[in-house]
């Protein structure tokens, strides 16, 4: 397995291009299952999770090809051979469950392996299933698979999500586009990735209103047609790279960044003493003088502070002047980066869903272990600020969500290299 070596090297400066959003692309790709016609995505990120979704769609008989080095994904589901998503692929990536709604809506039946747990918590899929049941789906859980059927086709219904779920909203939204009649999703997720999915589905002929609010109304249509759609900017990659100059000093412009994608995060950077400026080309973060101020954060569904930036923000708070409290409300067990940051000299206590971070004068390089995608990159950020060398082991998680991380950080002056595993 590859490792990444980072050596603290002072302030950063320059520009970093931000890719299309992994999480948007992972729900846009299964949308191809809703139509006979081709769906082409542009601005796609080049990541192992995207390749896994391509493999899953290919296993169902979809044609998936990548162009322009992976930035364009051309898909067609006109000759789908199977409606069964096998455990062997689903176990690699939870987002595989997103094929369930589209398969069921178009073919009236689907079998999808249950995704199992993952490093950041139990992550059930009960809400995906309940939302589909509200559209008339019959579900049977056997031998680790969801066997779903809707003999006369799905029918519009009303479903209120008891808690906000991005994935369940996406599954229900895709399914509802081909259901007969009107579907109303209440308590829906409002993330930019949901709006991007709805925009793509509208391009395919779907009738959707209210995306970006907590109530989405979908008027089912008989068929969807082909479309070409550019994937929205990855707000998590954006926030991650905005933290690099915040941690090391300097000034970096993240190309394609918009405050509207990350308003609550930008407010916290401002409170910590950083300057964030939006221009036509993107977002510029500058740390010119003075210490970082300690800032409390509570993760929440959009438009709140994203759970996917909690680990990276913790890396910043490790050297802040004062004590901050970081509360995680979305996933249990999402502080696995804390013990690794402590190995680098951080002062952190975790009790339940709250991490108390007392800022220290400086971090020291150490060998550390990446435990999940966002934890991996938080250790790289901490390594950029640490004295000496930090070796981040097990970085395969990183490749699931960050394309060319070493090149992007090297371009702004970081000392970072990948050591291929044996």
Between β-strands 158-160 and 182-186, what pairing exists: parallel, antiparallel or unpaired? parallel
Report how far residue 307's alpha carbon sits from residue 339's, in angstroms, rounded to the nearest whole number: 18
Catalytic residue among 118, 248, 254, 318: 118
Q: How many residues bind ligand UD1 (CB under 6 A)?
A: 20
- Asked if residue 253 binds ligand UD1 (CB under 6 A), the reply is no
| Residue 163 binding ligand UD1, by CB under 6 A | yes
Among residues 3, 23, 32, 390, the one that binds ligand UD1 under rule CB under 6 A: 23
Report CA-CA distances (Å) from 129 to 2, 44, 192, 290.
37, 28, 23, 51
- Are β-strands 63-67 and 12-17 bridged in parallel, bridged antiparallel, or unpaired? unpaired
Q: Does 184 bind ligand UD1 (CB under 6 A)?
A: no
Cβ–Cβ < 8 Å for 79, 33 = no
- Residue whose C-beta lies closest to ligand UD1: 167
Nearest Cα residue to 50 out of 26, 86, 19: 26
Query: Which DSSP category does 43 fall into?
Result: S
- Residue 243, phi-psi category: left (phi > 0), alpha (psi -120 to 50), beta (remainder): alpha
Least distance CB 375 / ligand UD1 (angstroms): 12
Smallest separation, CB 29 to ligand UD1 (Å): 11
Contact region with ligand UD1 (CB under 6 A), list: 148-156, 162-170, 245-253, 391-399:
162-170
Cβ closest to ligand UD1, residue 121 vs residue 322: 121
CA pair distance 63, 395, nearest whole angstrom: 30
Q: Quote the CA–CA distance of 380 and 370 in Å, as a whole number.
A: 9
User: Which stretch of DSSP H or E encloses residue 264?
Assistant: helix 263-271
Member of 6, 18, 19, 26 binding ligand UD1 (CB under 6 A)? 26
Cα–Cα distance measured from residue 170 to residue 168, given in angstroms and rounded to the nearest whole number: 5
Angstrom distance (rounded) from CA 94 to CA 117: 9
**Which two structure tokens, joined as six digits, stand for 123?**
């992550």
- Out of 159, 241, 265, 331, point to the residue binding ligand UD1 (CB under 6 A): 331
| Residue 266 annotated as catalytic | no
Instruction: Pick the closer one to ligand UD1 by CB: 57 or 386.
Output: 57
> How many angstroms separate the Cα of 275 from the Cα of each of 97, 223, 269, 280, 412?
40, 48, 8, 17, 18
Q: Are 66 and 72 in contact (CB under 8 A)?
A: yes
Residues in contact with ligand UD1, shown as a per-residue x/- string from 62 to 101 under the rule CB under 6 A:
--------------------------------xx------
Is residue 28 a contact residue for ligand UD1 (CB under 6 A)?
no
Smallest separation (angstroms) from ligand UD1 to the CB of 95: 4
For ligand UD1, what does the binding mask look like between residues 109 and 148, x meaning CB under 6 A?
A: ------------x-xxxxxx--------------------
Task: Return the number of the residue (35 or 305) whose C-beta is nearest ligand UD1.
Answer: 305
Which of 76, 253, 284, 307: binder of ligand UD1 (CB under 6 A)?
Answer: 307
Per CB under 6 A, 166 contacts ligand UD1: yes
**Beta carbon nearer to ligand UD1, 125 or 346:** 125
Active site residues: 118
Can you give the binding site for ligand UD1, defined by CB under 6 A? 23, 26, 94-95, 121, 123-128, 163, 165-168, 307-308, 330-331
């Amino acid at each position: 397995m590859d490792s990444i070596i980072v050596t603290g090297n002072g302030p950063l400066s320059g520009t970093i291009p931000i890719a299309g959003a992994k999480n948007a692309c992972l729900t846009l790709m299964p949308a191809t299952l809703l139509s006979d016609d081709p769906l082409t995505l542009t601005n796609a990120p080049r990541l192992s999770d995207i390749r896994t979704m391509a493999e899953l769609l290919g296993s169902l008989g979809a044609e998936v090809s990548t162009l322009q080095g992976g930035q364009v994904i051309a898909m067609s589901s006109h000759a789908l051979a199977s409606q069964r998503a096998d455990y062997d692929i689903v176990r690699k990536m939870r987002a595989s469950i997103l094929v369930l709604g589209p398969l069921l809506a178009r073919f009236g039946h689907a079998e999808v392996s249950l995704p199992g747990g993952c490093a950041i918590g139990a992550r059930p899929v009960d809400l995906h299933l309940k939302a589909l049941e509200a559209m008339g789906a019959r579900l049977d859980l056997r031998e680790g698979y969801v066997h779903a059927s809707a003999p006369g086709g799905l029918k519009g219904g009303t479903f209120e999500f008891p808690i906000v779920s991005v994935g369940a909203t996406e599954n229900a939204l895709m399914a509802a586009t081909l259901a007969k009649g009107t579907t109303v999703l209440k308590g829906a997720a409002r993330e930019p990735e949901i709006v991007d999915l709805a925009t793509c589905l509208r391009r395919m002929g779907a009738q959707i209103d209210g995306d970006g609010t907590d109530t989405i109304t979908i008027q089912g249509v008989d068929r969807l047609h082909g479309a070409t759609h550019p994937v929205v900017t990855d707000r998590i990659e954006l926030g991650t790279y905005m933290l690099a100059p915040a941690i090391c000093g300097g000034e970096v412009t993240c190309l394609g960044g918009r405050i509207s994608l990350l308003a609550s995060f930008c407010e916290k950077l401002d409170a910590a003493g950083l300057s964030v400026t939006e221009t036509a080309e993107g977002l510029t973060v500058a740390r010119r003088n003075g210490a970082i101020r300690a800032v409390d954060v509570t993760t929440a569904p959009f438009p709140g502070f994203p759970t996917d930036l909690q680990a990276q923000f913790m890396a910043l708070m490790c050297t802040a002047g004062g004590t901050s409290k970081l509360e995680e409300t979305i996933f249990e067990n999402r502080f696995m980066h804390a013990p690794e940051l402590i190995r680098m000299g951080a002062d952190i206590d975790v009790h339940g869903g709250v991490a108390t971070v007392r800022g220290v004068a400086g971090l020291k390089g150490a060998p550390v272990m990446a435990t999940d995608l966002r934890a991996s990159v938080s250790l790289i950020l901490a390594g950029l600020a640490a004295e000496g060398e930090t070796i981040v082991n097990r970085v395969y998680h990183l490749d699931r969500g960050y394309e060319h991380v070493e090149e992007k950080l090297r371009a702004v002056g970081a000392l970072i290299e990948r050591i291929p595993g044996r």
